[in-house]
Structure 1
């Protein structure tokens, strides 16, 4: 397994805007992509749709609704596993990701699997598609928590959706930010206020450059964002950690997952 060639970093809680977040997270995912696919590729599947580290699949959740014959956009598509699942079920899925290296992995799996996902390099805040281009837009743990200008991203999603279109996404569960990034028993003590929206920022110790940014919002923030953009919320899932899932995924684990949710999944739709 390839190791993540990331230099030592120091974590901070401080403001970070859209430009800084994008400059940090694109190169960060380029560095991390090889390790991510080597570590989690089998769990994700070449054409699998998993909503988060707990392993809840779209086949079981059914948040997108029928995809056959529909135009579908995956924001933060990575190696295209979810979009490939959609294509195998008759949907016309397209991927978009900030990381060039992740899209190279998508091309690799396209060729190996024979199921190709048309994909573009881009950001959630500037979707390179015309108005009303899609029936479904989704993001499986792929983009929204890395976006500072979240109002713009949600508005862009609404713009490219057709009337009656569906928008679904999974994010780090907001309560997750109360705890240290430690999947063991030592990480079960709340150390951070749930209502503190200050971004989590990692800075390269050697260069002083921002290496990673993640943004926290409460459940109420997400409800307001969707409502303000004209969406009607249809689903909010908080998957429990399965007893047989022994996987460690960053700060996610069975130790933590048996007590508190790690993932929140929203489903919503525009008026017809």
Structure 2
């Protein structure tokens, strides 16, 4: 995508326990808390939340994301300019997996470069939007004969692909922050990549967890411990999680990458550009000019078998 999937403290929720869920469809507002949440609970909550909120998410953010752009985060870092996947002219013919693809905007951009992308997401409703965009594009005659992007609904911690199926994997705010065991996800990505392949993913910058998720001056004062890894959870009246996001420090993320068999070759912290005047949850020009909002990890799979 860039389905900047709403991350914690972070595309819509707050590290201090307050929640921005104007589009929550449940009758009763969920209660925000910090508590443990395991693999199954986290996965169930993510699927339910994205299925309920996909329509409004795409309506609100689809214009910024575009139908076939590759945007790494709310700052608007565009892969066409950043080149984190490698030179665009070398993407042709590559088998690419997008993890947490949402409506497959990023995968569609990859297809336009001649790659063979597969867009994977846990949410059926997000993938329905991918089909909608493809259908609208065909109706406008904009596909230039290309086939629609291949879509797969599956959990990123159990990828339904053979080992060594892909030349490249990427994720723009998808899946990684929402799983209880990120190393398990990374190892699955490692398994399906060919030796020497790149794995590039973006997440909310870990420092943001220490600040309230507010775009104005109130979001510039530390309100929580950066070192508190307790997940952010929104739960219903029965105590069932309806939204879960997991915090990892910057060091944790690096260790996760290495533990899964990858080598970190770059860590990009996009600066807020002068042209971007929009607010997205807690992201804003004010905060973006002072503290990082996104971290992009550029990794390479080891060349030895694991």
2:133 is matched with which residue? 109
Residues 109-141 of structure 1: CA deviation (Å, up to 9, x unaligned): 111123411111111100000000000011101
For residue 74 of structure 1, the aligned residue among 94, 98, 113 is 98
Following TM superposition, the consecutive aligned residue runs of length 4 or more in structure 1 with deviations greater than 6 angstroms are none
| Partner SS state of residue 227, structure 1 | helix
Distance 1:238 1:63 in 2: 12
Q: Report how far residue 207 of structure 1 moved.
A: 4.3
The 5 Å alignment of 1:191-202 reads 191-202=223-234
Give the aligned CA root-mean-square deviation in angstroms: 1.4
The 5 Å alignment of 1:37-52 reads 37-52=58-73
Contact (CA 8 Å) 1:21, 1:146: kept in 2 or not?
Answer: yes
Distance 2:24 2:58 in 1: 11
For residue 246 of structure 1, the aligned residue among 247, 271, 277 is 277
Q: For structure 1, which runs of at least 5 residues remain unmatched after alignment?
A: none
Contact (CA 8 Å) 1:166, 1:267: kept in 2 or not?
Answer: yes
| Partner SS state of residue 180, structure 1 | coil
**TM-score normalised to structure 2 length:** 0.85
Q: For structure 2, which runs of at least 5 residues remain unmatched after alignment?
A: 1-21
Q: Report how far residue 196 of structure 1 moved.
A: 1.0
Shift in alpha-carbon separation, 1:196–1:68, aligned structure 2, 3 A? same
The 5 Å alignment of 1:1-272 reads 3-6=23-26, 7-65=28-86, 66-114=90-138, 115=143, 116-204=148-236, 206-272=237-303
**Matched pairs, number:** 270
Residues 46-89 of structure 1: CA deviation (Å, up to 9, x unaligned): 10000000000111111111311100000000000000000000
**TM-score normalised to structure 1 length:** 0.96
